[in-house]
């Protein structure tokens, strides 16, 4: 894979990823102001968690028509976020980032609330364009392109993990207008957080406690049990298993685990990357064809915290969580009182039934 780095008109970095050598010399001709952000993070002392405030994102582009899509290649008539006339995969710094490598001076605490620590919104947010084809989706990529996306995720994870102050790198895709997608072009995002997220911190603590109590790896033992039972397995190959977790929160939720433990995406070898692309396309196809219309979904990589985070990585087991708010044809799962107020999920489906339904779906 060949990587080419360029700059956009406002100074943001853009990277092109190609399988073969391609001259990437197009210039961004737009007259853009220098990108700045005034994001900040505030610490919730009750929950022990950081909250990011990014009010400047209120003006970001929202569901433009296809002929005004900012993620399509540029043309002589219209310049976009991608200066080239075509591309395979492109990654660039978000124009409306929640987190930025720009540092701003802030007091140590929020005005009038000395218990609420205040920091700038340090980090980095990137957009990953999977293809230049606007009317496509991840499940319609060919296996070679899907594998290439895995390589790009690994490339960006490795590089962003080296940034001082980054505690966790999160690769994800929001798919479908019901999820809240603001751009229909096939793309994902990457967040480099300045802390370890609550989900990963909690899992890491439980994994450490399980090791102390049972001497085993919690991830590995869960995977082994699911593979042995088979009740909730949706699909599998020699390197990966996709199963509905027995404790699934979402109406349709599948987790993909490699059979051999790795901590993060850069740790995956060639065999694991090839097999993931194959299995992931299979599962996405089942999501796309479960109902008359494709399911909206979120695909979230659970990677180990960065080596600089201070959180142990030795027992972490990379996995992908794929889930949808679709609970039935024409019906969505809303996070209402119990889920939003108390973070206690009440599911409208059972994992065993969902797994059986997905196994029966013809993925193409």
- Clarify whether 289 is annotated catalytic: no
How would DSSP label each residue in 96-123? S-SSBS------SEETTEEEEEEEE-BS
Q: Which residues pair with 18 in a beta bridge?
A: 2
259: exposed, middle or buried (C-beta count within 10 Å: 0-12, 13-18, 19+)? Answer: middle
Whether 125 has a binding-site annotation, put simply, is no
Q: Which residues pair with 252 in a beta bridge?
A: 324
CA distance 185 to 65: 10
Whether 134 has a binding-site annotation, put simply, is yes
Catalytic annotation, pick one of 38, 56, 155, 187: 187
Whether 72 has a binding-site annotation, put simply, is yes
Whether 185 has a binding-site annotation, put simply, is yes
In terms of Cα–Cα distance, which of 103, 93, 151 is closest to 125? 93
Structure tokens at 9: 């008109």
Contact 276, 315 (CB under 8 A): no
- CA atoms in the 13 A half-sphere facing the CB of 153: 29
CA distance 208 to 86: 47
Contact 159, 91 (CB under 8 A): no
Binding-site positions for Zn(2+) read 69, 72, 134, 185
Binding-site positions read 69, 72, 134, 185
Report, as residue numbers or ranges, the catalytic residues. 187
């Amino acid at each position: 894979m060949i990587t080419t780095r360029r700059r956009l008109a406002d100074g943001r970095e853009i990277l092109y990823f190609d399988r073969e050598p391609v001259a990437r010399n197009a210039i961004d001709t737009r007259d853009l102001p220098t990108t700045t952000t005034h994001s900040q993070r505030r610490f919730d002392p009750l929950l022990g968690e950081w909250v990011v405030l990014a009010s400047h994102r209120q003006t970001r582009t929202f569901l433009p028509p296809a002929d005004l899509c900012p993620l399509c290649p540029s043309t002589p008539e219209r310049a976009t976020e991608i200066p080239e006339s075509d591309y395979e995969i492109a990654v660039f710094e978000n124009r409306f980032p929640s987190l930025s490598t720009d540092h701003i001076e802030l007091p140590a605490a929020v005005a009038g609330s000395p218990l609420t620590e205040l920091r700038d919104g340090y980090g980095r947010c990137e957009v990953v364009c999977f293809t230049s084809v606007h009317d496509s989706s991840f499940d319609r990529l060919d296996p070679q392109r899907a594998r290439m996306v895995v390589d790009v995720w690994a490339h960006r994870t490795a590089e962003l993990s080296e940034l001082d102050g980054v505690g966790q790198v999160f690769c994800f895709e929001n798919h479908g207008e019901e999820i809240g997608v603001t751009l229909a072009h096939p793309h994902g995002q990457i967040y480099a957080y300045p802390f370890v997220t609550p989900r990963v911190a909690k899992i890491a603590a439980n994994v450490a406690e399980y090791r102390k109590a049972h001497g085993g790896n919690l991830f590995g033992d869960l995977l082994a049990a699911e593979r042995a039972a088979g009740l909730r397995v949706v699909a599998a190959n020699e390197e990966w298993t996709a199963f509905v977790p027995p404790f699934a929160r979402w109406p349709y939720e599948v987790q993909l685990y490699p059979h051999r433990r790795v901590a993060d995406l850069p740790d995956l070898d060639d065999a694991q990357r090839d097999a993931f692309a194959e299995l992931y396309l299979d599962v996405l196809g089942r999501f796309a064809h479960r109902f008359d219309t494709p399911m909206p979904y979120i695909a979230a990589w659970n990677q180990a915290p960065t080596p600089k985070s201070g959180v142990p990585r030795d027992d972490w087991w990379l996995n992908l969580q794929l889930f949808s708010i679709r609970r039935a044809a024409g019906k969505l799962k809303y996070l209402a009182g119990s889920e939003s107020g108390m973070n206690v999920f009440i599911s409208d489906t059972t994992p065993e039934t969902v797994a059986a339904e997905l196994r029966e779906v013809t993925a193409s």
